[in-house]
Amino acid sequence: MPEPMQRDDSTFVTIERIGDARCPPRDALDQRASGPRTRLARLALILLAAALAGVALLPGGLSAWLPMPDHFIPPDASFAPQTPIAVPARLITTRWQSAPLPPGSPPNGWSVSLSPNDAASLDACATLGAQTADGSALPGPVDVWATPDAGTTWAHVPFPAVSGTGCQVSVTPNESASAIVSVFGEAGPGQTSCLNTSFYLTTSGGTQWALLPHLALIPHAVTSASCQMLAIPHHLFFSMSYSVPHDSADHSLIRRSDDDGASWVAADTGLTLTRAFRPLWIGGDTLAVADSQTGSGESGATVSLLRVWTTADLGAHWASVGVSAIGPSGSLLHGVTANPQVPVCACALTASSTGPRSDLSLYLAGVSWQWQRLPPLPSVGATPDKSGVFRVAGFSIRGDPLALGIKPLPYPVTQDAGLGGQSNDDAPRLWEWEVGSQRWKESAFSLPCLAPANCPLFSLGSRVGTEPSGTRGVWVWLAQANPAAATALYRSFVPGG
């Protein structure tokens, strides 16, 4: 009895030993190749050979051949059987490469920020206090570092002898010698996080620092408050969300300084916000701020409304420029691009966001501030309510949004994905929404993580730069763990077009 051999596709073929059999003479073959039974057998052999070779016959006969697909889409409950999933367009990128962190291993990790002025410049800070048994940070000295060459060399930046449980560096756009370091303290009973935050400003590249007196800007009798400091060329903006006793409503304020914090003026005239998100600098005297409010959707259901306000005179006057229903989970104005046709991308968590990976609903607005909800990724597992996107990564040199999302299907397995050329079939990818052609494009190189559910990568943003060859594009930066406690850095280059 011949032994069966198991094939990968779970079918069986039988292999018989034919010994030393030789091919018969051609005239013997001609005699055997007659009769209808033999012709049927020959046709069966042709069909079998075609199936094993992975080709399909055209209905018109054997005069032409079509290749069969070498990858089949597995069934997925979230897609109807008739839903076609096209192979996504290819986004040209380089392989993800790791970048060194500053020397040392602080107990609470490194807080890393990408300079707005250069694709290879990063700043990092850490608080050197120990951790409690539950992982909370204890106050410790603040350590600040900077690199101009993507981590190849790091330089220590002198900083005042202050203590904190966390910190963050923010370099001023177009002014590399100016930066703010936010130092977060430990809030005691009855204290708010804003009261225990300190802001230090340098305009000399870190040789001198000044403490910004923001406490005088906080209203009296505040029960809870969070605040941020934004530096743009020649101006500082202090924004704050807070609550007061015996009032269930949220309150906010924005103040501006034109003299490095010596004096402050109101910068929220006409702005009615429930929560003041960090103002976003568009350029010149123009800023934007987003607010999430509860309202009614088209079906009458309660939804969150994304409201965006802009000012063209540094906060002296604000106007509402667009409202979009985004679902019940809140909103975040994410980023801007230098392309004036696509200045703002906003992302919002959808109600379907469950588990370790969040699915973002992405909204795009141009100069007309008309919001467009982007479609889900062309991947099996993505649906209109689950986009497959879990991070916004920045913008391409053309101003197209970049995102981190689930891997595309169908897609041939590659051995040239991720770091070190290792195959990682479940790892997510970098995607680009191409505004001109209204389609998603994906990178062939997987992200340096195992799977979407186990992908602790956070975006540091993207910056225009060049490759060693001189090609212009953007460098996309990622931090492992999170930007406030990074354990590794990665970057990839997306050429311009």
pLDDT in tens, 163-180: 999 999 999 999 999 999
Q: Cα–Cα distance between 162 and 181 in angstroms, integer? A: 12
**In this predicted structure, which of 119-133, 197-211, 326-340 has the lowest mean pLDDT?**
326-340
Regarding predicted confidence, which is higher, 330 or 393?
393
Q: How far is CA 314 from CA 83, 117, 235, 294, in A?
A: 49, 21, 9, 27
> Could you tell me the pTM of the whole model?
0.75
Contact 366, 341 (CB under 8 A): yes
Contact 57, 67 (CB under 8 A): no
Residue of 371, 363, 365, 322 lying closest to 343 (CA atoms): 365
Contact 336, 281 (CB under 8 A): yes
Please enumerate in sequence order all residues whose Cβ is within 8 A of that of 465, keeping only pairs 6 or more positions apart, or say none.
118, 119, 120, 472, 473, 474, 475, 493
Q: Which residues of 279-290 are buried (b: 16+ CB within 10 A; e: fewer)?
A: bbbbeeeebbbb
Q: What is the pLDDT of residues 310-319, one digit of tens each?
A: 899 999 999 8
Please enumerate in sequence order all residues whose Cβ is within 8 A of that of 61, keeping only pairs 6 or more positions apart, or say none.
none
Residue of 293, 295, 301, 364 lying closest to 330 (CA atoms): 293
The two tokens of residue 29 are 């073959």
Please enumerate in sequence order all residues whose Cβ is within 8 A of that of 130, keeping only pairs 6 or more positions apart, or say none.
107, 138, 140
Q: What is the pLDDT of residues 346-390, one digit of tens each?
A: 555 443 444 445 567 777 776 666 777 888 888 877 877 778 888
Regarding predicted confidence, which is higher, 46 or 166?
166
> Running DSSP on this structure, what letter comes out for residue 32?
H
